[in-house]
Every structure is written in C-alpha cells, then in structure tokens.
Amino acid sequence: MSEKGSNLSKRVVFDHDRGTMFRFATGHSFVTIPVGQREDELACCWLLDECHSWTIAFLHIDELQWKKLVDGAPKGKVLVRFSTSGYHPAELEKSEALCLRCLKKTTKLSSSDIGTLVAVLNDSTDILRKRQVPSGLADLISFREPHRLRSLETLLGAVMAAWSLGHKGADERKKAKEALCLDMTPPVPPDGFTERSSLWRHLGFSQDATKVDSYVIKMTDELSLELGVKDLLDDPKLGRPLTDLLVSLSQKPYDEEVDFAVAVRSFNALRRYLKSR
C-alpha cells in the first residue's frame, strides 16, 4: 500500500540502553529522539519542548525524568515506560497525558508486543484512561485495583441502607439515606447485619474476637498499599476517616454497631475517592 501522507513521525522512542525495546520500536517506524544514548534529561526536555512533533512515546528512561514527563506532558500524548525488570500493576499516573508502564521486562519483549501496543494506543486510549485493559494487552499493561477500598465502600453502602430504614432516630435515618443517595427503597436487612462482628465477617475475617487487633493491622496495611502510602494517615483524604473507622470496628463489644458518624464520614470519603479515580 502506498501512502500519500505520513503520520510516522508522531511515534518517538528513547531507550538509554538502546536495547530490545529500541530495536523493535524503530522496526515499527518509531523515530529516535535526537539525543545521545544516555541523555535521559535531554530526551525529557525534547519531549516537553517538541510536543507538536509526537503523539506516542516509548521510553526507557530514568525515574526523575519520567516524573517530569508525567507532570508536564499535555493532554493527547501517550507515554509508555519500559524497564529491564518490568513494572508491577500500579495506579494510573495522575497526568494530563496517558502515562503507562509496561509490565514486561525489556529483554522479554517481542516485536509483536510492540505492534500490539501501537495498535491499541492508536485507537483505545479512552478505555485505558478508564483503567480497563483490552484483553490483547493484558500481559503488557495492567492497573492496580483498589479491591479492599471498593469492598469497604460496598459494605458501608449496605450499612447506610440498613440504617436508612432501621431502628435509629429520624435524624440518623435521614443522614444515612442522604449518604447513600439511593432513590429506591432498599430491602430490610437481616438481624445483626450492622454489628461489628458481621462487618468483619463481610470484610473476609473470621469472627474470632481475639484476633481483631491482627485484622486491624492487616486492613491498615492493605488500605495503605492500595492508596500508595507508607502510613495510612499519610493519605490526605482517606487516612483519617479510615483510621477512625478501623478504631471503631476494633472496639468491644463486637455485637454492637460501629460508630454512626465515623461510618458515614468514611463512606462519603470512600465514595468520593472511588468516583474520582
């Protein structure tokens, strides 16, 4: 097929090792960023200064320059970072551009991997922005899913539903209903649904009261990991409400309910966080 116009210069590559990724990318018509092999900083400057001349960039570049690109690359650009050791699934980078990390080690990449990435990135960036990965890309791109945060939000939603109907005062019923934002009337909960022991069970822990401290430690670790912070309290939005929730969940007696205000605050914070992702 002969083309009268060319879009090929829209794909660029920089690889400070000039290794497998570089070889396959140039084989797929990527243009080499005009800097020296080890000049990561210059490559970064070129990408930011010459935004008009590229759309997709495949990069094997150091962390500092990658962060600058994540901060500075404009909307409409797609950057894929490669590494000799590959990357673990992570949160989608907060960036105007679509910034992805390839799971596969550069040494394990094949030419068809690069071809698959190009085909999808030419067409399906909208779905990747929603953290959905087309099945053909599953072993190349993946996002970390906040399963624990989601299950906590789901559980607290059901607690709000129970409280919006239940035995609490009119003011609390109203607050729970407002937090839930559900137009339909939820079903009546079974007895004991909102008790602490029931909530632990729904979070996947047994009802062994002697182990609650270890549940709190495990939950704290899992939530911190999903939020990408070392200490749960380091997260500015969810740290405090979730810590308060875990404290309330760990208090005796376990056949009583979790603190109402704490649960509502946690639910609202979780819902906002998950909606904004």
Partner 1 sequence: MTDHEWSRARSDFNHGWLKNRFVVALYRADRIVSGAVVDETGFDALWALLREWPERLRDAFELVDWYSRIADPSLGDRKECSASYLQSVTVLRWQQAERPELKTRVAIEALEVLDAEICASTHLSAESVGRLRVKAQSLASAISDLTALRVPGF
Q: How far is the CB of 184 from partner 1 (least distance, A)?
A: 5
Q: Does 193 bind partner 1 (CB under 8 A)?
A: yes
Q: Does 276 bind partner 1 (CB under 8 A)?
A: no
Q: How far is the CB of 37 from partner 1 (least distance, A)?
A: 34
Q: Does 28 bind partner 1 (CB under 8 A)?
A: no
Instruction: Note whether 48 and 26 are within 8 A (CB).
Output: no
Strands 56-60 and 98-101: unpaired
In this complex, which beta carbon is closest to partner 1, that of residue 33 or of residue 118?
118
Length of the chain as a residue count: 277
Measured distance CA(102)–CA(258) in Å, rounded: 42
In angstroms, the first-to-last Cα distance of the chain is 42
Residue written as token pair 């070889």? 23
Strands 31-32 and 56-60: unpaired
Cis peptide before 186 (omega within 30 of 0): no
Instruction: Note whether 169 and 177 are within 8 A (CB).
Output: no
Q: Does 267 bind partner 1 (CB under 8 A)?
A: no
Among 192, 221, 247, 272, binds partner 1 (CB under 8 A): 192
Q: How far is the CB of 106 from partner 1 (least distance, A)?
A: 25
Among 180, 212, 223, 270, binds partner 1 (CB under 8 A): 180
In this complex, which beta carbon is closest to partner 1, that of residue 62 or of residue 91?
91
At residue 239, what is the residue type?
G
Strands 78-81 and 98-101: parallel
Site for partner 1 in 117-176 (CB under 8 A): 119-120, 123-124, 126-127, 132-136, 150-151, 154-155, 157-158, 161-162
Among 49, 94, 169, 183, binds partner 1 (CB under 8 A): 183
Count CB atoms within 10 A of the CB of residue 214.
11
Q: How far is the CB of 45 from partner 1 (least distance, A)?
A: 34
In this complex, which beta carbon is closest to partner 1, that of residue 119 or of residue 229?
119
Partners of 81 in the β-ladder = 59, 101
Contacts with partner 1 by CB under 8 A lie at 1-5, 119-120, 123-124, 126-127, 132-136, 150-151, 154-155, 157-158, 161-162, 180-184, 186-190, 192-193, 198, 202
